[in-house]
Amino acid sequence: MEEKNAGITSVIRQKALELGFTAVGFTKVRLPDEYIRKYEEWLNRNYHGSMDYLVRHLPLKKNPELVLENALSVICVSLLYRTEDCLTDDPHHGYFSIYARGRDYHKVVKKKLTQLIGEIHKITGDCHERAFVDSGPVFEKYYAAEAGIGAIGRNSLVISSGYGSFFFLGELITSLPIDTDSVQNFDPCRGCARCLEHCPVNAILDNRQINAGRCIAYLTIEHKGIIPYELTVLMGNRVYGCDSCQKCCPWNRKIKITAEPDFSCRLTDDIVRLDNLIKFKPEDFSETFAGTPVHRIGYESFIRNVVIAAGNSGDLKFIPVLQQMLAANPGEVISQHLIWSINNLTAGNCR
């Protein structure tokens, strides 16, 4: 049986790499009580912000058998997304997280996982799988670390000693009794606290967790509604995501570029100029960002973030544009941020 399992593991690894995944690892589906306790404590301290679905998902996360009957193992994969820098760092341009500049990774990784399921069933048909990509009731970072993909860093991201942290994670929960891989026995952050020092909003805690309610990635992507003004002034020109805690990480110093063509940059400097983005109507937003992760946040969150970036720009030319937008009564959320941005520019503040 052990030889058979080892053979299956070897073939699955080979097929996953042939599909373009950067790395693949295997672990058991069981979860230690201590990890669950720490996660529940994180939720109880409201570090999840307004992501109430994390509370709703908890019973499923704690009991993988509720996700897949007879679940035994987890096949973990990673896929690099870092591309050559394609956009300027000019503060008068909106900043979009590196991972969001190409095709929506949910679609890319899910398609590859579906193909991998097909390959597994060619080997052995007596099994069942469910695929997850950053959107299901799965402790993906815990599983990735246990499967040897990397180790969890101070910024709560999985860091690989071979290719840093600019990669996506995906999982197949399976009924196969697969041999497990070894955990990477290294601490990527020993003696280093650069991510804590570079986080603009002090969202990184000292226990390899984050206060998501302060994180700019959360604020610009997950959070709906009004963003607290003590945080908007710290957001700078960030329209979607952040990347600060990854760009400063020593493990990302040697840039590893993805070979996945779907992650090629679809944006240009002309598109992301703030004086261009501020003019976007819903149809412009859809036409420009369809098929990318940005489109998932919707027009209202997008234009809210652009308004904040304009308010942080220090460029007084935005004041009449913002005033005109306010006169059109765009709704409470946008109106409140328009007022803040106009006042911030009038006061001469910028970040």
Q: Which residues are annotated as catalytic?
A: 134
Where does residue 347 rank: exposed (0-12), middle (13-18), buried (19+ CB within 10 A)?
A: exposed
- Rounded CA gap, 70 and 7, in Å? 21
130: tokens are: 């469910």
Instruction: Name the residue type at position 151.
Output: A
CA dist 226 → 152, 236, 300, 341 (Å): 31, 16, 11, 13
Q: Are 235 and 308 in contact (CB under 8 A)?
A: yes
Query: What is the DSSP-derived secondary structure letter of residue 340?
Result: H
- Rounded CA gap, 118 and 112, in Å? 10
80: tokens are: 């690099």
- Rounded CA gap, 277 and 297, in Å? 15
Q: Are 269 and 181 in contact (CB under 8 A)?
A: no
Half-sphere exposure of 76 (CA within 13 A, CB side): 28
211: tokens are: 């206060």
Instruction: Name the residue type at position 113.
Output: L
- Rounded CA gap, 47 and 136, in Å? 19
